[in-house]
């Protein structure tokens, strides 16, 4: 303390530890107040009545349109949104076994670490029997090198597909085939 005339001037010095304790005490007070407010809000929400539960709609009898037999031919949605009933899906001359054998011969396993898994490749079978628009289904690839090997093998296939058809007319259709690298 210093005395200067008839007024008292008190100089108080705070240490760093004292300032830290003061700051901590203020933060604790504020946090406690905030926690109390949050708990009260939660208690009010918990005490409120729940919203009424909607009753499920009763199932109606299927209409005649829904009872139509669709088991005779698969249906696909075309790019313009129309429903297409396919009578004949595209197929490889010689069957699926011949296609698998040809792919085993044409696919060159990439160098590097050997990976195992299935790749799903999609392509369009044209009305001429050739293939176009070869791509790996998104999320169904293995690794970029393996995907590229699969695309290359499909692109090198001969025009030996029988195109799919609808009402006796050949149509270009997209098909997806899986290939497993072992």
Query: Is residue 155 scored above 70 in pLDDT?
Result: yes
- pLDDT at residue 33, as a whole number: 75
Domain extent listing, the chain: 2-47, 75-181
- pLDDT at residue 81, as a whole number: 66
pLDDT digits (tens, 9 = 90+) for 90-139: 888 888 899 889 988 988 888 888 888 899 999 998 989 899 999 998 88
Among 20-29, 48-57, 119-128, 156-165, name the one with the lowest average pLDDT.
48-57
pTM over cut 0.75? no
Using CA atoms, how far residue 136 sits from 72, 83, 107, 119, 165, in Å, is: 29, 24, 15, 7, 24
Stretch 67-82: mean pLDDT, rounded?
A: 55
Considering the chain, what percentage of its residues have pLDDT values greater than 70?
Answer: 65
Q: 142, exposed or middle or buried, with CB in 10 Å at 0-12, 13-18, 19+?
A: buried
For the 75-181 domain, the top CATH level (class) is alpha beta
Query: Is residue 145 scored above 80 in pLDDT?
Result: yes
CA separation for the pair 43, 48 (Å, rounded): 9
What rounded mean pLDDT belongs to the chain?
76
């Amino acid at each position: 303390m210093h005395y200067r005339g008839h007024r008292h001037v008190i100089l108080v010095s705070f240490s760093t530890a004292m300032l830290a304790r003061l700051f901590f005490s203020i933060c604790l007070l504020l946090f406690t107040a905030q926690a109390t407010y949050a708990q009260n809000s939660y208690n009010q929400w918990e005490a409120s009545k729940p919203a009424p539960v909607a009753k499920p709609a009763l199932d109606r009898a299927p209409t005649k349109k829904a009872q139509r037999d669709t088991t005779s031919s698969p249906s696909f949605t075309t790019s313009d949104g129309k429903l297409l009933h396919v009578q004949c899906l595209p197929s490889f001359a010689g069957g699926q076994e011949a296609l698998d054998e040809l792919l085993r011969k044409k696919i060159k396993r990439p160098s590097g670490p050997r990976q195992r898994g299935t790749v799903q490749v999609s392509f369009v079978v044209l009305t001429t029997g050739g293939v176009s628009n070869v791509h790996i289904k998104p999320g169904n690839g293995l690794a970029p090198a393996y995907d590229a090997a699969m695309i290359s093998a499909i692109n090198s296939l001969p025009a030996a597909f029988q195109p799919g058809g609808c009402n006796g007319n050949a149509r270009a259709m997209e098909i997806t085939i899986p290939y497993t690298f072992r």
